[in-house]
């Protein structure tokens, strides 16, 4: 695991974006795995600026996303589809049909099979962008006695619901279920870019860097199994 420490969030976002930009320049037909949440917003802003300035293009790129809330309309301003549209897709030149998110209007396993088929056809990603949940979850693979390999319907932990409630009027409005890539699919990328910013992520970062044990009640520990991980952190996340 390669650890890149920046003084603050803006510098971390710029360094991560520069890394992604160099990969796009090297391979314009790059295949991405994308993440939502507040942490990658700065990265996406830098990529959008580079695209606007003509430094890079996404017209040959393709992407898949990790997860989505269940039972929330794609046009809802708290859906991950809306998030991706606002923060990246509407600002760069992805071709129509080149970006994909899981979707499940209800908690039915048939939607997980649909996304598994899409992921199988999509193939291995060149880069997968990941954030870190405060409890160490990756995508919506929550700490548990066992973890799913493929796309699944997951019940969100209270800790995750509480963390996401800042985006809703109240915690009661946060969806309780999500559709998410499983661990095998999360890791099906040549390179993982993991972003962590702020004091609230310090404990997760500390455990990743100091503990060697792999266990399902701390999904982030599985990062040690991937051969090519870049962990971008700011000083608050690194030092607490």
What per-residue confidence (pLDDT) applies to 162? Answer: 83
What per-residue confidence (pLDDT) applies to 139? Answer: 93
For the question of residue 202 being annotated catalytic, the response is: no
Q: Helix, strand or coil for residue 222?
A: helix
Q: From the candidates 135, 141, 164, 188, give the one annotated as an active-site residue.
A: 135
What per-residue confidence (pLDDT) applies to 18? Answer: 98
For the question of residue 67 being annotated catalytic, the response is: yes
What per-residue confidence (pLDDT) applies to 15? Answer: 98
Mean pLDDT (the chain, rounded): 95
In the predicted model, is pLDDT for residue 31 greater than 90? Answer: yes
In the predicted model, is pLDDT for residue 234 greater than 80? Answer: yes
Closest CA to 27 of 125, 100, 120: 125
In this predicted model, what pLDDT tens digit does every residue of 119-175 receive, in sequence order? Answer: 999 999 999 999 998 889 999 998 999 999 999 999 888 887 887 787 788 778 888
Q: What tokens appear for 75 in the block?
A: 């046009």
pTM recorded for the entire structure: 0.94
Per-residue confidence band for 116, with pLDDT thresholds at 50, 70 and 90: very high
For the question of residue 85 being annotated catalytic, the response is: no
Torsions phi, psi of 41, nearest 5?
-60, -45
pLDDT greater at residue 172 or residue 221: 221
In this predicted model, what pLDDT tens digit does every residue of 70-98 receive, in sequence order? Answer: 988 899 889 999 999 999 999 999 999 99
For the question of residue 77 being annotated catalytic, the response is: no
What per-residue confidence (pLDDT) applies to 237? Answer: 97
What per-residue confidence (pLDDT) applies to 134? Answer: 86
Mean pLDDT to the nearest integer, 39-51: 98
Mean pLDDT to the nearest integer, 55-59: 98
What per-residue confidence (pLDDT) applies to 166? Answer: 79
Q: From the candidates 46, 65, 68, 137, give the one annotated as an active-site residue.
A: 137
Per-residue confidence band for 201, with pLDDT thresholds at 50, 70 and 90: very high
Q: From the candidates 68, 116, 126, 142, give the one annotated as an active-site residue.
A: 142
In whole angstroms, what is the distance from residue 115 CA to residue 110 CA? 9
What per-residue confidence (pLDDT) applies to 133? Answer: 87
What per-residue confidence (pLDDT) applies to 170? Answer: 77
Question: Tokens 């949440």 sit at which residue?
Answer: 37
In the predicted model, is pLDDT for residue 41 greater than 80? Answer: yes
Radius of gyration for the chain, computed over Cα atoms and rounded to the nearest angstrom = 17
In whole angstroms, what is the distance from residue 10 CA to residue 5 CA? 12
What per-residue confidence (pLDDT) applies to 192? Answer: 98
Closest CA to 24 of 50, 6, 42: 50
């Amino acid at each position: 695991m390669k650890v890149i420490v920046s003084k603050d969030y803006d510098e971390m976002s710029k360094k991560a974006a520069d890394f992604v930009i160099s990969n796009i320049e090297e391979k314009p037909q790059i295949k991405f795995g994308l993440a939502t949440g507040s942490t990658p917003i700065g990265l996406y802003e830098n990529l959008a600026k580079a695209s606007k300035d003509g430094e890079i293009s996404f017209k040959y790129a393709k992407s898949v996303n990790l997860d989505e809330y269940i039972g929330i309309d794609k046009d809802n301003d708290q859906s991950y589809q809306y998030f991706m549209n606002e923060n990246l897709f509407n600002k760069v030149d992805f071709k129509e049909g080149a970006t994909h998110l899981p979707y499940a209007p209800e908690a039915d396993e048939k939607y997980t099979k649909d996304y598994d088929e899409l992921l199988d056809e999509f193939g291995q990603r060149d880069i997968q962008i990941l954030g870190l949940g405060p409890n160490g979850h990756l995508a919506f693979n929550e700490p548990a006695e066992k973890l799913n390999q493929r796309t699944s319907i997951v019940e969100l932990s209270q800790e995750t619901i509480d963390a996401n409630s800042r985006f809703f009027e109240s915690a009661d409005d946060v969806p309780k279920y999500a559709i998410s890539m499983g661990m095998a699919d999360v890791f099906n990328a040549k390179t993982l870019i993991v972003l962590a910013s702020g004091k609230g992520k310090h404990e997760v970062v500390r455990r990743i860097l100091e503990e060697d044990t792999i266990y399902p009640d701390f999904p982030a520990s599985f990062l040690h199994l991937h051969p090519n991980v870049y962990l971008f952190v700011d000083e608050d996340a690194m030092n607490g």
